[in-house]
Amino acid sequence: MADAPASKSSIDLSQAGPLPLFDQQLKVLSDAYISFFSERLRIEEQYAESLQRLHIKWKAIDSVLDDRTPSTAKKAWREVRDNVDREADTRSAFAEVLRRDVIAPLTSLKETQERTRKRVKEDIKESMSAYQSYAENDLPKLKRQYLKKCQDVEDYKSAPQGSSNTTMPQSSGATESSAPVYQKPYTQQITSPIPLRPPHRQPSLSQPNTRARSPSTSNSLQDLAHQGKKQLNQIISFLGEGKAGATTREVLGGRPDGALRGVRAKREADEADKEYRKAVHWLETLRLNRIKILEGGYKSLEIFAHECSYVMRKVLENYTSNLIAIARTAAQLGAHVTEAVAAISPDKDVISISAQTPRSMALATPKRTLYYNYHVGECNDLIFGVSLVDYATSRGLMDGELPKLVRLCIHEIQTRGLESEGIYRISGRHASVQDLTHRIERDERRFAFNPLTDDVYCISSVLKLYLRELPEPVFKFPLEDRVKHTEEREEQISSNFRTLRSKMRRIPPVHQATLKAIVEHLARVAARADKNKMDAKNLAIVFSAVIFGEDELPKPSDILSVQAWKDSVMEDMITFAGQLFDDQGTHQSPLPPAPAGELPARYDYGSSYTQVATIPPKERVASGSRSQDFTPQLPPRPSDSIHPSRRTARVTSNDDDAMPPPPLPSRPLQKQDSSLGDTGGSIASYSVESFGRPGQEPDEASSYDARLSHRQSISSDMFASPILPETPKTTNALLPSPAASPPRSHESV
């Protein structure tokens, strides 16, 4: 039971020494400091190597791609490329600093302290092993021997008294007082370790101890020897009284060596006591030695902590100073590249490229493929069937400019045909119309109408044919929306046609300019209705389909119900042309703003007929005064316009002179307009006889009337519209009969 606490204490001491703290410090040094800087070194080396490979690769690429064309951008690019090599050198130097001035001192400190830890561990292990071995093995053995020897002395002291009591007879009454002491023999047996206390403190079974105790516990063996000597003298005196004249040898009666053995046992007990005392002293010496070793270990730990902090301070000073140096070097490299970048001149680069552009353009541009007509041969221009946006892009039209064909037709009709009866209603000869279209497409730049040979009716048919064959109508306006506009006509007039103006602003600029020119032209034609018999209603019949686009025809079962629909949009546009295109009006409806953050839409303009030229735009001739011209002025286009004319040079010809249109008639009074509200979109029919052309032969006129009647019967289905619920105001208002339908230019002979 006495060995268990000693072993437990030894385990606790081994776990609570300086070694765990040593291990913790070494783990921090190895796993935190050295591992971090080693990984940083690996990253820096990889980064420097990657930069060098990048520089070598792109230098080889530039050597292949480099040409003889000087460029400021290329010079700046070379500086950027070479900066990569300079940065790689800087990073390689930084990696070498990490290896030499950061990782090497930390690694040396780690190795030194590992050796110190190993030495401290061995010293602690040896001292602990020696102390535990002596405390657990040698000292208990000497202690047991000492206690055994002391017990033997006690046994020898008790054994003679018990044996004399059994052989000697009863004495006189003088010794009866001590007789009870010897009547009980001493039979105590040692079966377990005797408690660690001096023998003189143990109770005596042979004789009561009447000797005064010694005040000192360190002289227990001397007291025992003194007491044994005294008892021996008592025995001798007792034997002398019991047998007078008998010798001591006779009294002992056959046991002459008993006293010698007792003396020898006492001497052995004294020697065992000396050995035991030496063992206790040596164990204390081992304990003090172990304490000194532990103190030395803790001192080594303190030295380790001090050296670690000192080395880390030096290492981090080197590390941070090199980081600052790298940052300054990078800043200098960036400043050097900035100077090269600032030297980039786009104008100089463009000049160097432009010098080679004509020759390269000539080599790269394929030969233009012209349209070959079976009857007239090659045509330089495609006009009919080409959208207005593509036309404006290929010709480089500015905002507000019209296609040349539209401008020539309007000018020619306003010059010679405003008073021609049935203008736009009577179609020109088919052969003449086809001849005009071929002449225009053969060479648009040189084309001009011949007043002597080109009839105004043919010119009007050409204009209608051009508008009808556009892929996208001039002003896309579905029939349902037009019918809704007609139903809300009074409200639209009172709001200055806010909805209609808003829709017109959303179409492309070339569509806006074309629509404005045609509507104002039709307003001038309608102003001469007393002579040409073409008022706003009749003109609306002719131009509604070509301006707004033809809607899908309904099913045959619904064709008859279309007559109940009313469409007065075109008529209102002609009648109120001044209000619709008066951009300075107080009731204009601006376009809604673009969503926040949305970029302007991009349109891919151009076609295979796009022409590129460097001819500067010709100055336009100022038109007549505003007092004589009813044409409203459009606001200037914003700077971020997406119209292709902003980036394409305009292609002009010598005969593209601006021709001022004749003045518009005065705006009709509101009283006259109020009559339109009752009729809505109803269309008055005209007599066929009133549209006969002047100078036409009777036979020719009769055949023309027959053809016109046949065409009118066919074209009645083209004005079919969906059914809307009738109102009391429009119940009796019906569309005109098929005879009032306008003829088609492509149907004329």
378-420, pLDDT tens digit by residue?
888 888 999 999 999 988 888 889 999 999 999 999 999 999 9
Query: How far is 87 from 82, CA to CA, in rounded Å?
Result: 9
- 645 and 711 in one domain? yes
- 693 and 586 in one domain? yes
Query: How far is 334 from 311, CA to CA, in rounded Å?
Result: 35
- 491 and 449 in one domain? yes
In a domain, 352, yes or no: no
* Two structure tokens written together for 168: 């000697």
Condensed to tens digits (0 to 9), the pLDDT of residues 445-476 reads 889 999 899 999 999 999 999 999 999 999 99
Query: How far is 540 from 523, CA to CA, in rounded Å?
Result: 11
- 301 and 404 in one domain? no
Which three-class secondary structure state does DSSP give residue 371?
Answer: strand
Query: How far is 565 from 543, CA to CA, in rounded Å?
Result: 17
- 137 and 57 in one domain? yes
Q: Residue 468: its pLDDT value, please? A: 93
417-426, 511-520, 684-693, range with the lowest pLDDT? 684-693
- 629 and 540 in one domain? yes
288-302, 476-490, 625-639, range with the lowest pLDDT? 625-639
- 381 and 326 in one domain? no
Element (H, E) at 373: strand 371-373
Q: 């008073």: which residue's tokens?
A: 419
Which of 293, 319, 340 is at the close of a domain?
A: 340
Q: Residue 315: its pLDDT value, please? A: 92
* Residues forming beta bridges with residue 88, ordered by sequence position: none
Residue 700 and residue 501 in contact, taking contact as beta carbons nearer than 8 Å: no
Q: Residue 583: its pLDDT value, please? A: 58
Of 246 and 411, the structure prediction assigns the larger pLDDT to 411
- In this structure, what DSSP letter does residue 379 have? E
- 246 and 112 in one domain? yes
In a domain, 6, yes or no: no
CB atoms within 10 A of CB 265: 19
Residue type, 208: P
Which three-class secondary structure state does DSSP give residue 483?
Answer: helix
CATH of the domain at 666: 1.10.555.10
- 136 and 261 in one domain? yes
In a domain, 214, yes or no: no
Q: Is the pLDDT of residue 732 over 80?
A: no
Q: How far apart are the first and last CA of the chain?
A: 138
Query: How far is 287 from 128, CA to CA, in rounded Å?
Result: 9
CATH of the domain at 188: 1.20.1270.60
Domain range for 538 is: 371-554+565-591+603-680+689-747
Which three-class secondary structure state does DSSP give residue 68?
Answer: coil
**Mean pLDDT (the chain, rounded):** 71
- 390 and 281 in one domain? no
Give me the DSSP letters along 605-646: ---TT-----PPPPPPPP---TTT--PPPPPPPPTT---GGG
In a domain, 311, yes or no: yes
Q: Residue 22: its pLDDT value, please? A: 86
Q: Is the pLDDT of residue 742 over 70?
A: no
Helix ranges restricted to H, 66-192: 72-97, 104-133, 139-167, 179-183
Query: How far is 117 from 136, CA to CA, in rounded Å?
Result: 27
Which of 340, 361, 393 is at the close of a domain?
A: 340
Residue 584 and residue 632 in contact, taking contact as beta carbons nearer than 8 Å: yes
In a domain, 620, yes or no: yes
- 570 and 450 in one domain? yes
In a domain, 1, yes or no: no
Length of the chain: 749
- 402 and 316 in one domain? no
In a domain, 207, yes or no: no
Q: Which of 257-266, 344-353, 684-693 has the highest mean pLDDT?
A: 344-353
Q: 């300079």: which residue's tokens?
A: 86
Q: How many domains does the chain have?
A: 2
Query: How far is 606 from 390, CA to CA, in rounded Å?
Result: 5
Q: Residue 629: its pLDDT value, please? A: 44
Query: How far is 492 from 498, CA to CA, in rounded Å?
Result: 7
Of 519 and 399, the structure prediction assigns the larger pLDDT to 519
Q: Is the pLDDT of residue 612 over 80?
A: no
In a domain, 697, yes or no: yes
117-131, 307-321, 401-415, 674-688, range with the lowest pLDDT? 674-688
